Amino acid sequence: MCGIFGSIPLGLILALGRYSKLPVIHYVCAGFIEFWRGVPLIVVIVTFVFISCNRSDIHVAIDMKWKIIDDLPNSILVYQGYDQDIPVRAWAVVVPKKKENKVKVLVSNDLDGLDTPGDFAQATNALVVINAGYFSRGQDPVHHVGLLKSDNILHEPASSTVIRDNIRYNVTRGALGVLHNGDIDIGWASTKGDSILIWNKPINNRPGKPGILDYGNAKLWDVIDAVHAGPILISDGKINITSEEEVFFNTPVDGVQPRSAIGYRSNGDIVIMVVDGRQVDSRGVYLQELAILMSQFNCHEALNLDGGGSSTLIIDKKLVNRPIGINAQREVMSSIAIFSEN
């Protein structure tokens, strides 16, 4: 619509300028018209599609006004932030590394394999719950997309390959793992038999150019809990979004979406975040913007979780955000929970 209303006055100006008696105006307008007349129509279409698809609305600097809105047991802090220019609304929970604070991956025990994050909180008495991995509703029972392990039980192995545009890619996707000492780890993971393996960098996949999976660069990931999501947003303290390497190209994951994420600081503090989207007062964020928000909390590593209508944050058994624009929750297969002992 903007292109239509913009092209009409531009066309009139060029047409009038072509007949101007001023040489400079005449030659500029005539040259512009003749140039585009000589360009094949398909080239014009491709050029303007490329320009329109360029994500010029990505904000590389987000002036998020963060403020503490709640102080939970054992120094857990809840933040709310808003940037009216984008606009975007988000919440973050910072969980200090303390023996009283524990993190777990939860899996639904319901007959259909799905529960809301609120259901998880009620059933386990967790202080904080956020949705976790991707899942497919098109199968009965519901199917988790990638690695899912809880309480040392492997519920779902990793998906070792992904087909995109009729090309098969090997993948090591971003995953969260809970170590035996209670710390969390984030890396590019896959499975081989019953073993979970982790790499310090992903496979070098590119659209149309599958990379090679090298098990020689992997190490055994000895974790109690684990869940695949992705892509990874921050690695070694730097924004490093491995969307292409994890073969998320040509999917809604790359677009503006409601978001969920988890990360940790170099001192072991955990950072959990949810961003509302698809709403007038909160459009959602690109992966790049989500990484920026997580970096505002000094994350050393950070992982994008399942987003869209699944993005839900529960604190003290109460829904904090508006997952689908209303006070309702989507059922999910897995969640990440924070428990805090008194």
Tokens of 95: 């969980």
Q: Sign of the CA dihedral 293, 56, 165, 241?
A: negative
Average pLDDT over residues 162-168: 93
Whole-number pLDDT of residue 148: 97
* pLDDT > 60? residue 338: yes
pLDDT of residue 279: 93
Closest alpha carbon to 301 in 244, 233, 248, 253: 233
**327: its two tokens:** 């006070």
pLDDT at 208 > cutoff 60:
yes
**Per-residue pLDDT tens digits for 62-103:** 999 999 999 999 999 999 999 999 999 999 999 999 999 999
As given in the structure block, the two tokens for residue 171 are 């993948």
Among candidate residues 193, 211, 191, the one with its CA nearest the CA of residue 201: 211
**Nearest-5° Cα angle at 19, 14 to 20:** 90
Q: Residue 104, class by beta-carbon neighbours within 10 Å (0-12 exposed, 13-18 middle, 19+ buried)? A: buried
Give me the pLDDT at residue 54, please: 46
The b-or-e profile of 239-263 (16+ CB within 10 A means b, else e) is: bbbbbbbbbbbeeebbebbbbbbbb
Among 48-57, 98-107, 172-181, the range scoring the smallest mean pLDDT is: 48-57
**The residue type at 254:** D
Q: What is the pLDDT of residue 90?
A: 98
| Residue 260 near residue 131 (C-beta atoms within 8 A) | yes
Question: Is the separation of the CB atoms in 290 and 297 below 8 Å?
Answer: no
> What is the DSSP code string of 8-30?
HHHHHHHHHHHT-SSHHHHHHHH
Cα–Cα separations (whole angstroms), residue 209 to 75, 202, 203, 217, 260? 47, 14, 11, 20, 29
Per-domain residue ranges of the chain: 2-53, 67-340
What is the per-residue pLDDT across 225-277, written as a single tens digit (0 to 9) for each?
999 999 999 999 999 999 999 999 988 898 999 999 999 999 999 999 999 99
- The pTM for the full model equals 0.84
Res 2 pLDDT > 50: no
Least confident of 21-25, 71-75, 247-251, 302-306: 21-25
Rounded CA-CA distance 272/150 in Å is 19
Share of the chain above pLDDT 90, in %: 74
Task: Decide if pLDDT at 331 tops 70.
Answer: yes
Mean pLDDT for 172-190 is 97
The pLDDT value recorded for residue 1 is: 42
Among 53, 110, 230, residue whose Cα is nearest residue 159:
230
Quote the pLDDT of residue 316. Answer: 96
pLDDT of 25 strictly over 80: no
Residue 303 contacts residue 131 (beta carbons within 8 Å):
no
Residue 326 has phi, psi (to 5 degrees) of: -135, 175
CA distances from 50 to 8, 208, 247 (A): 21, 19, 21
Q: Residue for token digits 């009729």?
A: 166
Name the nearest CA neighbour of 308 among 280, 285, 335, 340: 285
Q: Which of 121, 312, 336 is nearest to 227 (CA)?
A: 336
Higher pLDDT, 26 or 157: 157
Cα(224)–Cα(124) distance, rounded to whole angstroms? Answer: 17
Six-digit token pair at 194? 């019953």
Q: Which residues contact 322 (CB under 8 A, 6 or more apart)?
A: 276, 279
